[in-house]
Chains A and B, each alone.
Chain A
Amino acid sequence: MLLIPCPWCGPRNQIEFTYGGDATLKRPPADAPVEAWFEFVYLRDNPCGPHDELWLHSAGCRRWVKVRRDTRTHDILASARPDQALPGGET
């Protein structure tokens, strides 16, 4: 079970969180072509190594947080509020 550092609550057990998917996706503007929406909704990378993800602290403060997790080792490398950048930019 992962130990996830919530930027508001501190380190908390994974059971308090809900996984929210890829944090690096950018929602296209409203007038974007259908191809851009197709990419946003359906296409996902499956990175090997550090990956930025969204998690909802659903059984805690109910804040969405960005978490950088190494998909090979489960190491949690960093976390941040959604409006803040993780150190070193996107991964």
Chain B
Amino acid sequence: MTQPHRLAAGGIVDRSRTLGFSFDGAAYEGHPGDTLASALLANGVHLIGRSFKYHRPRGIVTAGADEPNALVQLAHGARTEPNTRATQQELYHGLVADSQNRWPSLSFDIGALNDVFSPLFPAGFYYKTFMWPPGPRWWLKYEHAIRRAAGLGRAAREPDPDHYQHRFAHCDVLVIGGGPAGLAAAQAAARCGARVMLCDENATFGGSLRGDATLIDGTPAASWVDAGIGDLAANGDVTLLPRTTAFGYYDQNLIGLVERVADHLAEPPPFTPRQRLWHVRAGTVVLASGALERGIAYAGNDRPGTMLAGAAQAYVTCYGVKPGTRAVIFANNDSAYEAAVRLHDAGVSIAAIADARPEAALSGDHPQRARAAGVAILPGTAIVRAHGGLRVAGVDLASLQGGAARRIDCDLVCVSGGWNPAVHLYSQSRGKLRYDDALATFVPDASPQSIVAAGAANGKIDLSAVLANGHDAGLAAAARSGFAARTAQSAPTTAAVSTGPLQALWSVPSRRSAKCFVDWQNDVTVADIALAAREGYRSVEHLKRYTTLGMGTDQGKTANILGLALLAAELGVSIPQVGTTTFRPPYTPVTMGALAGHEVGATLEPTRYSAMHDWHVEHGARMLNAGLWKRPHSYPRPGESEDDAANREAKNVRSNVGAVDVSTLGKIELQGRDVAEFLNRVYINRWDTLAVGRCRYGVMLRDDGMVFDDGTTSRLSTTHYVMTTTTLNAVNVMQHLEYLLQVEWPELEVFATSVTEQWAGAALAGPKARQVLAALVSIDVSNAAFPFLAVGECELIAGGARIPARLFRMSYSGELAYEIHVPVTHGRAMWEAVMAAGEPFGIMPYGTEAMSTLRIEKGHVVIGPEADGRTTADDLGLGKLVSPAKWCIGKPLLARPALTAPERWQLVGLTAIDGTIPRGGKLVADPGQATPTPMLGHVSSWCWSPNLDASIGLALLERGRARHGDTLWAVSPLADARVRVRVGPPCFIDPEGERLRV
């Protein structure tokens, strides 16, 4: 018979359909509406995994997010996920799950020897045991073995096949939790007209009311939930988010939600994300996250078949599953009696209810009902020990006053030590908590953010109080956003239940060697907490770190209050004096995929393409990244290496003509009356002397005097300039200019507009550049009409079309050169026209590698390698550009003595005497000297110069300008290279600059 423990009726499961699944290779069946845990229980499976440290057999403890033990490895291959809570994972057909932390099998686990030798592994045993021999080497060896023995599931080793979305949303009221309080709050707020979002971590709303028949407003609770959700769904201002966990509460009421869009399916349908991360800005949050039950520590309280009483009740009412056949209930409060009655009504035999409280405290409605049902109630009694191995077989009961224990056989133990409001998000909102003596736990007090706790999360126990509190919270939250009740609204009502007082009980005394678990997931026992207190770990934060209490994937949801209450008892102080550890996001684990969203792989960041990108690719370019841009490195021909291609391209520029795509340069339009004055302030050189139709090279400094960026600025008219920046600094320069214009000098009339994306550019360089250009443009480009550093607007003739263009005569390569800029939509047409016009002259496209070679040959510095943030203009040989006639940014601090000292590193050129200058080489006088060898400087750029047939480089060298002619060594211990180099001026080719002026 399949599902022998499934009840004939009741709960939210759909018995008309059957879902097949497997656990540890065995096939089982369940129904839609089941979680993996409820389906396993329906099949009588209680043993789910092995514990983290002692490898003890463990079962299902809870029915929700607080589950410490029922963690499984879900699915195989790329979609496998470790540590999945069986209590939250929805069942789907074909689900495959495996137990964790066991070898060779779950029922026979070699690691369980840890349990036998557990006296060797007290709290903090790492710190005590692995201190010798000293040094990190041994620890690394130990750690390897420890990591294998401990731990839970395994992460997937293949790329994640699914995708994840992010969504941003705003609402007046975000209700977290769709149980009775949350539903009452959402309905109240929505009726006021507020925009409401309601999220719940389960697939269906209702929380504790799912499958429940208690009458609310005269209707069975489950029907009341359905009707309420129906009303909310019909309201266009309400967003319902089932399967959605609020995991984090951040500044200014930003709440992170993770929606499990497709985790209830074997794989997401096409075009559907697996999960969706919501960033919700809420006017007010109603925290209706319910309460989490806590256990009581006694010897063997971890045996499979031991469950929190509320969980056992949920399996009966919500899932229609009998979690056992013969149960013992152990409680210190009334709620367990409701569970006992439900179990009894479902046909579970209740062997006894052991209640720590005296008879006088058992006058509440639920104990009375249990008594009426004929259940044996044992006041003043506790479980002192559980029997059984892979499943609980019985318990020893004894009076708390002492006396002999007697054994009762059972296969289910239901424990309730009271309820802790799920205050995690309240605490994350920086809300203060208050210790409530009656509940023996912490409840919300006050938060600086706009959050209202409601229902069980606010310490309300009885359903009628929960509903009323939720309703009031919804009205209050709507009112904070300015929405008043439109009509008289009354809270949903249900019959009030009288409840007796709870009597705090954290642990039952037992033999010292017996294991009474506080934290089921991290195997922290009562004895561990006592040991930590004895050894001086008196702060709750230290206790946590020393014992690992609450540091598992469940973050101690069932354990923390127990642990700190036991610490308080050890220290002889009150629980509020001990306080809580800090609650941090996430409430339950969030996948890395959901956090990353679409910002992975190729969509990690934007990719920028020039208008000529496709041409480059079609012509064999090898593309590389330059910031966000793709740029051609070189254009290798068939059979040609990239280096050979770059050398061919560089040589062709000096002998014929080449063209390079310079669209990526930053371009900023500057317009207004005061542009010249502005440029005088941001560049080191003078700009008030620049005539219309001319351009100039300029260098910008930071306020500390170091070189920031370089480029050219051209004057198109009296009030219109266009600036270029380096590719990588375009954004920073724009931000810098905007800062100066908006914050420092708003009196200057200058408008700065980034036009990097609007203009495509090509540089045409080489002795035959003018001949190519003459056939292309509408203006006279003779040296007389268009001399070096001339600028003009013209038309470029491309086939039959005439493209508006800006022409600049400037040179980076040191050859006769021009830059042509056209509106970006004409970029490819311009480029093709240039290549066609150049064909008779032997034109070749060249990439960044040849461009770099040409500029090294010419001794031009680059922002980054040479201007590395530590160099002044003078260090780079540009000191004479600093105009003495005016102030500019960075100039005042250039006067500091260290920036003018003669021993500063200065730019020089290097030529290898033998061999090749090593990448990243350091300059030393004598490589044979004993280490540490004094470093005189370093190679900043290096290349093979095809025009000089030599290995050359640029370097920053101490007193460099005084060392021209010296011989030094460029060494790279990493590459095991040492090469003799001759120091000289940085410019290797045409130092007089005659070629670019012809």
| Residues of chain B lying within 8 A (CB to CB) of residue A83 | 746
Once the chains are docked, how many angstroms separate the CA of A40 from the CA of B704? 10
Given that A34-B895, A41-B704 are contacting pairs, would A63 and B742 also be in contact in the complex, using a CB cutoff of 8 Å?
yes
**Restricting to A52-91, which residues have a CB under 8 Å from any CB of B?**
54, 56, 58, 62-64, 73-76, 82-83
Query: Are B252 and A2 interface neighbours, CB within 8 A?
Result: yes
Query: Are B254 and A56 interface neighbours, CB within 8 A?
Result: no
Query: Are A18 and B735 interface neighbours, CB within 8 A?
Result: yes
Query: Are A56 and B738 interface neighbours, CB within 8 A?
Result: yes
Given that A3-B281, A64-B743 are contacting pairs, would A76 and B252 also be in contact in the complex, using a CB cutoff of 8 Å?
yes
Task: Produce 1/0 per residue, B638-659, CB < 8 A to A.
Answer: 0000000000000000000000
Distance to closest chain A CB from B101 (angstroms): 37
Query: Are B251 and A2 interface neighbours, CB within 8 A?
Result: yes
Given that A34-B896, A58-B735 are contacting pairs, would A82 and B742 also be in contact in the complex, using a CB cutoff of 8 Å?
yes
Once the chains are docked, how many angstroms separate the CA of A58 from the CA of B704? 24
Task: Produce 1/0 per residue, A41-53, CB < 8 A to B.
Answer: 1100000000000
In the complex, whether B168 has a CB less than 8 A from a CB of chain A is yes
Chain B's closest residue to A38 (CB) is B893
| Residues of chain A lying within 8 A (CB to CB) of residue B895 | 34
| Residues of chain B lying within 8 A (CB to CB) of residue A1 | 250-252, 254, 279
Once the chains are docked, how many angstroms separate the CA of A72 from the CA of B712? 45
Query: Are B735 and A56 interface neighbours, CB within 8 A?
Result: yes
| Residues of chain B lying within 8 A (CB to CB) of residue A74 | 251-252
Query: Are B743 and A73 interface neighbours, CB within 8 A?
Result: no
Query: Are A37 and B251 interface neighbours, CB within 8 A?
Result: no
Task: Produce 1/0 per residue, B262-302, CB < 8 A to A.
Answer: 00000000000000000101000000000000000000000
Distance to closest chain B CB from A67 (angstroms): 12
**Restricting to B859-897, which residues have a CB under 8 Å from any CB of A?**
887, 892-893, 895-896
Distance to closest chain B CB from A10 (angstroms): 12
Given that A3-B281, A13-B168, A27-B744 are contacting pairs, would A64 and B892 also be in contact in the complex, using a CB cutoff of 8 Å?
no
Given that A3-B251, A64-B743, A82-B743 are contacting pairs, would A73 and B448 also be in contact in the complex, using a CB cutoff of 8 Å?
yes
Once the chains are docked, how many angstroms separate the CA of A76 from the CA of B252? 8
Interface size for A (C-beta < 8 A) is 29
Chain B's closest residue to A62 (CB) is B738
Distance to closest chain A CB from B628 (angstroms): 14
Interface residues on B, range: 20 to 34
Chain B's closest residue to A18 (CB) is B735
In the complex, whether B720 has a CB less than 8 A from a CB of chain A is no
Once the chains are docked, how many angstroms separate the CA of A34 from the CA of B253? 46
Query: Are A64 and B893 interface neighbours, CB within 8 A?
Result: no
**Restricting to B741-763, which residues have a CB under 8 Å from any CB of A?**
742-744, 746
Task: Produce 1/0 per residue, A1-33, CB < 8 A to B.
Answer: 111000000000100001010000001101110
Query: Are A34 and B892 interface neighbours, CB within 8 A?
Result: yes
Once the chains are docked, how many angstroms separate the CA of A74 from the CA of B449? 11
In the complex, whether B703 has a CB less than 8 A from a CB of chain A is yes
Query: Are A73 and B430 interface neighbours, CB within 8 A?
Result: yes
Once the chains are docked, how many angstroms separate the CA of A1 from the CA of B585? 13
Given that A18-B735, A83-B746 are contacting pairs, would A30 and B887 also be in contact in the complex, using a CB cutoff of 8 Å?
yes
Chain A's closest residue to B891 (CB) is A30
Chain B's closest residue to A2 (CB) is B251
**Cross-chain pair count, CB within 8 angstroms:** 57
Once the chains are docked, how many angstroms separate the CA of A75 from the CA of B279? 19
Query: Are A64 and B703 interface neighbours, CB within 8 A?
Result: no
Distance to closest chain B CB from A6 (angstroms): 13
In the complex, whether B138 has a CB less than 8 A from a CB of chain A is no
Once the chains are docked, how many angstroms separate the CA of A64 from the CA of B745? 13
Once the chains are docked, how many angstroms separate the CA of A54 from the CA of B342? 62
Distance to closest chain A CB from B848 (angstroms): 27
Distance to closest chain A CB from B481 (angstroms): 14
Chain B's closest residue to A56 (CB) is B735
Task: Produce 1/0 per residue, B674-717, CB < 8 A to A.
Answer: 00000000000000000000000000000110000000000000
Task: Produce 1/0 per residue, B717-749, CB < 8 A to A.
Answer: 000000000000000000100110011101000
Once the chains are docked, how many angstroms separate the CA of A80 from the CA of B56? 61
Query: Are B252 and A64 interface neighbours, CB within 8 A?
Result: no
Chain B's closest residue to A21 (CB) is B739
Chain A's closest residue to B735 (CB) is A56
| Residues of chain B lying within 8 A (CB to CB) of residue A64 | 738-739, 742-743
Chain A's closest residue to B742 (CB) is A64
Given that A32-B892, A73-B430 are contacting pairs, would A41 and B703 also be in contact in the complex, using a CB cutoff of 8 Å?
yes
Once the chains are docked, how many angstroms separate the CA of A13 from the CA of B895? 42
| Residues of chain B lying within 8 A (CB to CB) of residue A31 | 887
A3: contacting residue among B252, B703, B892, CB under 8 A: B252
Distance to closest chain B CB from A31 (angstroms): 8
Chain A's closest residue to B703 (CB) is A41
**Restricting to B540-575, which residues have a CB under 8 Å from any CB of A?**
none
| Residues of chain A lying within 8 A (CB to CB) of residue B448 | 73, 75
Once the chains are docked, how many angstroms separate the CA of A90 from the CA of B338? 61
| Residues of chain A lying within 8 A (CB to CB) of residue B281 | 3
| Residues of chain A lying within 8 A (CB to CB) of residue B704 | 41-42
| Residues of chain A lying within 8 A (CB to CB) of residue B746 | 82-83
Once the chains are docked, how many angstroms separate the CA of A37 from the CA of B279? 43
Query: Are A20 and B739 interface neighbours, CB within 8 A?
Result: yes
| Residues of chain A lying within 8 A (CB to CB) of residue B703 | 37, 40-41
Chain B's closest residue to A32 (CB) is B892
**Restricting to B326-379, which residues have a CB under 8 Å from any CB of A?**
none
Given that A27-B744, A54-B743, A82-B743 are contacting pairs, would A34 and B250 also be in contact in the complex, using a CB cutoff of 8 Å?
no
| Residues of chain B lying within 8 A (CB to CB) of residue A3 | 251-254, 281
| Residues of chain B lying within 8 A (CB to CB) of residue A27 | 744
Once the chains are docked, how many angstroms separate the CA of A30 from the CA of B254? 44
**Restricting to B888-921, which residues have a CB under 8 Å from any CB of A?**
892-893, 895-896
Once the chains are docked, how many angstroms separate the CA of A30 from the CA of B743? 16
Once the chains are docked, how many angstroms separate the CA of A56 from the CA of B743? 11
| Residues of chain A lying within 8 A (CB to CB) of residue B254 | 1, 3
Of B252, B253, B430, B744, most A-chain CB atoms within 10 Å: B252
Assuming A42-B704, A54-B739, A82-B743, what are 11 further A-B pairs, CB within 8 angstroms? A1-B254, A1-B279, A2-B251, A27-B744, A32-B892, A34-B895, A37-B703, A41-B703, A73-B430, A74-B252, A82-B746
Pick 15 A–B contacts, CB within 8 A, sort by A.
A1-B251, A1-B252, A3-B252, A3-B281, A13-B168, A18-B735, A27-B744, A34-B895, A34-B896, A37-B892, A38-B893, A62-B738, A64-B743, A74-B251, A82-B743
Binding site for A on B (CB under 8 A): 168, 250-254, 279, 281, 430, 448, 703-704, 735, 738-739, 742-744, 746, 887, 892-893, 895-896
Binding site for B on A (CB under 8 A): 1-3, 13, 18, 20, 27-28, 30-32, 34, 37-38, 40-42, 54, 56, 58, 62-64, 73-76, 82-83
